[in-house]
Structures are given as structure tokens and as C-alpha cells.
Structure 1
Amino acid sequence: MAEHARSDLADRLFQAHVAHELSAWRGERGRQRLAGLVDTFWDWAERTTLTELVDCDTMGGAAERLVLDLDLPDQLGGVIGGIADDLVRLDVNRDTRVRDVIDQSLFDEGVTLAVELETLRARLVQRLLKSPVYTALASDILYQGIKDYIFSDSGAIRSIPGVSRLVKGSSSAVSRRMPGLEAQVESRVKAYIEANTARTLARTETYLLESLDGDRLRALADEIWRAAADKPLSIADAIDSDELQRLVDYGLQVWRSLRETEYLGVMIDQGVQMFFARHGDDTLAELMRHVGLEREVLAGEVAALAPDIIDGLAETGLLETWVRAQLADFYDSDAFAAVMRGDD
């Protein structure tokens, strides 16, 4: 584009055009223009498919850049933590009960769903009991329980002939008078638990699956609802500001670490490809309808939000700056100069 010194006529045309555009974006004219733009956009969206607008590779690249490459500033944790803390401390949390935000009928539907998903329930129980973490936890609990029972002042050790006489006021005397007894008991108890953990967990699995039948689940759910329904939503007494901030900071650390893994990149890439495979031939209007966005909804939101935004842009000078920059590109062009000269 070549820049030209505008003639007086060209400059007057330019200024008039700027004034026209600024007026056309505001007031009743602006609302009519916006409504027309929404209609034009929706008509286009009704006949344009996703793949006609953008291809899968381009969308996948954008998703990876936004999720994997976009830097998260250090102050983000403080911003999120501050907002979260403000929300946690709101009085409305103390004034609002659980039943005010969770309808009992909806809770009951969730219970019914849990009862009906019997196969899923059994699968979750089986996976939990086969978890190494759960196995270790269960073994430790069993060991501590048996040990405490044996060596407690009212435990099994008092019933052993000869040993009970050694215990005067406390079973701690056993360890002093019979060195090594506690270590022997510990090793034998641990050996027994390790040898029988699988069998014990298998029995536990059977017991849990039999116990978590429909009637018992409903009874348990009723107890939970009665205990929680009138409790306030506030967790302010359970967590202070520093603890909340530390949790937020840790969550961001986990997210940063996850972003560096190959796993997340593969998931994003495959997710985009699967979405295009299923919905690439859908029109943009159909995709918007999938999330509840109809023409009337879009038009209503644009009518409600856009005028105030445009007024703000105008009052701060940005709207005029944009309009002038857009129009000046044409008024300073060779094409406009040729028209002004009357060239064919």
C-alpha cells in the first residue's frame, strides 16, 4: 500500500465515513446493526461445517499451544488463592444449608443410580481392595489392632498362665520382665498377616459386596442426608487462608508437571482427532446447539452485553482508533487514489 497526501475532498470523505461508522455502532442504529450481524452469522453457521472452517491439525496445534506451551505466571497462584479465600469466607456460606443447593430428590436419584450400577460398584470395590496402598493400610491396621489387644491391660496376654502374675499394675511390666516377648509377638503377628492378607481381603470383598446391596445403600444414604442436609456449606472453620493458598500452589505445581509429560500431549492430540472424526461434518450451528446455544440465546446475550461494551470502547477512545485505522487503510491506498483521479 502506498500512502498519499489526501486531498481536501478525500479527507472530508474519510472524516465523514469515520463519523458514520462511530454513529452506526451506538444507540438504536448500533442495536440494529448487532442484530443483523447475529442473523448473518447464524445463517452462515447453519451452512458451514467445522472442517470447512478449520482443519483438525490446525485446531490440534492451537489446543497444544494453549494447554502445553502457554506460560503460567508465578502470580497466578496468588490470584486464584485470593479469590478462593474470599469466596470461602463469604457469609452466604454460613447462611446456606446443604439442602438449599442440593435438592433431596436429586440426591435420591443419585442414590438410585448408585444402586442400579451394581456391576460398576463391584468393580470399584475389587480394584480398591487389590490396591497395594489399601493392602498396606489394611495390614498395618490389623497389626496394630492385634498388638494393642495382646498387650493392653485388659488384653489376651493377661490370660496366659504364668504371664498374668508378672503384670502387677500395667502390661508394660511384661516387656521388662520377659525381654524379647513383644518382638517375638510382633514378628509372628506380621508373618501371619502377610500370609493371610490375600485371604482376608477376599473375605472382605465378599462381605462388602454382600453388604452394599440396594437396601443398605439407601439406608446409608438416608443417614448421610439426615446428618448433612441442615449443615452450613461453610468450610471456613476447616481451612485457613494459608492452608488454602498452599493447596492452590500445589495444584498449580501438579498442573505444570503434568504439562511436561508426553501423556497430556497424546491425550490432547487424540481428543481433537476424535472430536473431528465425530463432529467434523456437523455445522457450526449444530455444534453450538450441543452446548445449548441457539440463535435466540446468542441474539439475547449480544443485545444485553454488546451495547455496554461498545459504549465503553467509544468512551475510552479505542473504538474510534480502530475505525480510523481500518478506514485509513483504504483511503490511503492506491485503489482509492485511482478512483479519485477517475482512472479506469
Structure 2
Amino acid sequence: MTAENPVADDDLAARLLDAHVEFMCGQVTDPEEFAALVHEEITHALDDAAHITLSEAVSRDLIKAVAHKYAVAFPVEGAIPELVGRVAARLYHDSATDDVVLAELIGRKHADDLTDDIAQLGLSRRLVERVLDSPDTVDTVVEAVQRSVDSSRLPQSLRRYVDGAVESVTRRAASFVLRANRSESDELLADTMRELSRAAAAPGAGALGSLVEPGDVEDVVVLVFEFWRLFRETDYFARLLADGVDEVFDTYGDTSLADLLADLGIGYDDLIEEAHRFGPPVIAEINRRGFLEAALRRRLAPFYASRAFTEALQHL
């Protein structure tokens, strides 16, 4: 058939291509057809995902390579720090102009309960105990008291005696007070956090706006990025990253992709909802600009111009 009338075959290929492109454009631009397509494809995708595990779909080495690229090798210079700084500055400006405190958002009782829960965390208790037990804490108290006692006007011999006595008494007293409070570290932390929370909520306290200036936000962003830039290049971070990937595969490697999505809280209804949220407006815009038809033709035209299509016609 092709050898007898190649011109007719070319015309047939062109007409089939036009029909194919029109059909596929209609599938994604018509609301009813798009809805049916979304439901059909997501249903089949989840059915297929139920029969393949994470380890079967992708290897941990591939995931480690991707994680290393974006966590270690991907540059954080240029526009990224600048954008983060601008976002942080805007969030600071919004929060500084709003006289909203935690207790007003969730209620005084819930705020106090949250404070108590934080104080009872094992990490919080250990941090407070570490501070109370640390010799550096005692040294800091001693230094503060010594600076408040001005012995510079005393004779040299008396000055040494006074400074020594102040240090000795202060060190013993500080050690005694810190040891006495160690057993009540939970309540100490809770009381401190409650007082800070109430002070921030009090009228005229100024809260965050009185402590943080616009320049401070930029300084913090610069410090964070500088730390991250150095930390991510260390062997220690590389080990943490690899261990994190291994933990995911050790936990979910034999789990089907469908169950993994469910464990992550992503279900059929969520996928349908997001497809309908983003699909129609995005497709409508690229169709309005002529990109949709052009993309479909670019993908389908090679088949209708191929030897495979010609050979298929020969069997008709």
C-alpha cells in the first residue's frame, strides 16, 4: 500500500496526527474529560504502586546521590541567601507590626500547658541540669560579683585579701544555691518560661519588636548560611545524610509505594484534589499560549513520520 501511493500515506499520517493531537488536547482541556482522566490515571497509578516496593522502585544509592547533590554540592550562594533574607525580613516586619502573643492565639491555659510540657521534656531538664552543674556557671557568677565589688581604691595587700574573700564566699554560695535548685530544675524552668511568656504579653513590653532590629534579621541569615556552607562540607554531615537515607530504606524498603504514600498521609483523595487544583489553570494557560498543541505535536509527529508507522500501514 505504501509503495503504491506514498503521497496518500503521508496525507493519512498528517490527518491521523491532527486527530491524535486534537483528541489529546480535548482530554486535558475539557473539564469532564480531564476529571475522568485524572480519576482513571490516579486509580491505576495507585493500583500499580501497591505491587512495587520502595527498594524495587529505586535504590538507596541513587537516593544518596540525589541527597548529596542537593544537600552538599548544590550551591547556596547567589540569589538563594538573598531571597531567604528578604523573606525573613518580610516575616519580621509582619510579626513586629502585629501585637499578637502566643497566649492570645491559643489561650492562656493552653499556653501555660505548653510551657509545662516543654519544661518536662527530658532534653529541657538535661540542659538545665547541665547549666546548674557546670563549673563555668559558678565562674560566671563569681566574675559578675567580683566586678560589682570595686576594690581598686584599697591598698594592694588589702585588695588581694578582699578579692580572695569575695571569690571564696561567692563561689561557695553559688555552688550551694545551684545544688539546691538542681532537684527542682523542672519547676525552675517552668517558672522561668511562664514569667518570660507573661512579660512578653504584658502591655508595653514591646515583645519581639523591642529586642530585634531589622539589621539583626539579615545578620542571622548570613550566620546561618555561613554555618550551613561549612557544616555541609564536613564528613560528619555526609555520614548523617547517608544514615538518614539508610534509615528510610531500612524502615520502608520492603513497603509498597502505595502504603508508603499512605504512611506519609497522602491518599487517593489528596492526589485527586491537587490534580484538580493545579491541572486546569496550568493547562488552560499553556493551551492559551499555544504550548500544549505544540508539545503534543513534538512528541507524536516522529511516530507518524517513522518507519514503524509505515510498516503498520502495510499490515492494514
Provide TM-score, normalisation by structure 1.
0.76
Q: Structure 1, unaligned stretches of length 5 or more?
A: 152-171
Amino acid at match of 2:117: L
Q: Is the 8 A contact 1:38 1:299 kept in 2?
A: yes
* Alpha-carbon distance in 1 for matches of 2:220, 2:256: 42
Paired residue for 1:26? 29
* From 39, 49, 52, the counterpart of 1:48: 52
Paired residue for 2:257? 284
- 1:242-321 equivalent positions in 2, closer than 5 A: 242-321=215-294
- 1:130-279 equivalent positions in 2, closer than 5 A: 135-136=135-136, 138-149=138-149, 151=151, 174-175=153-154, 178-179=155-156, 181-182=158-159, 185-186=162-163, 188=164, 192=168, 203-214=176-187, 220=192, 222-229=194-201, 235-279=208-252
Paired residue for 1:38? 42
Structure 1 moving runs of 4+ over 4 Å: 114-117, 119-122, 183-186, 189-193, 199-202, 216-222, 229-234
Paired residue for 1:99? 103
Paired-residue identity, %: 23
**Relative to structure 1, is the Cα distance of residues 313 and 279 closer, same or farther in structure 2, using a 3 angstrom cutoff?**
same
Amino acid at match of 2:265: G
Larger Rg: 1
Secondary structure of the residue that 1:293 maps to in structure 2? coil
Paired residue for 1:125? 128
Q: Is the 8 A contact 2:85 2:218 kept in 1?
A: yes
**Relative to structure 1, is the Cα distance of residues 279 and 71 closer, same or farther in structure 2, using a 3 angstrom cutoff?**
same
* Alpha-carbon distance in 1 for matches of 2:282, 2:167: 73
* From 9, 15, 19, the counterpart of 2:18: 15
Provide TM-score, normalisation by structure 2.
0.82
Amino acid at match of 2:67: A
Displacement of 1:93: 4.7
Displacement of 1:268: 0.7
Report the more deviating stretch, 315-324 or 68-77.
Answer: 315-324
CA displacement, residues 73-93 of structure 1 (integer Å, 9 cap, x when unaligned): 322221111122122222785
Q: Which has the higher contact order (CA 8 A, sep 6+)?
A: 1
Displacement of 1:11: 1.2
Secondary structure of the residue that 1:90 maps to in structure 2? helix
Displacement of 1:204: 4.6
Q: Structure 2, unaligned stretches of length 5 or more?
A: 1-5
Amino acid at match of 2:241: I
**Relative to structure 1, is the Cα distance of residues 95 and 149 closer, same or farther in structure 2, using a 3 angstrom cutoff?**
closer
* Alpha-carbon distance in 1 for matches of 2:198, 2:70: 45
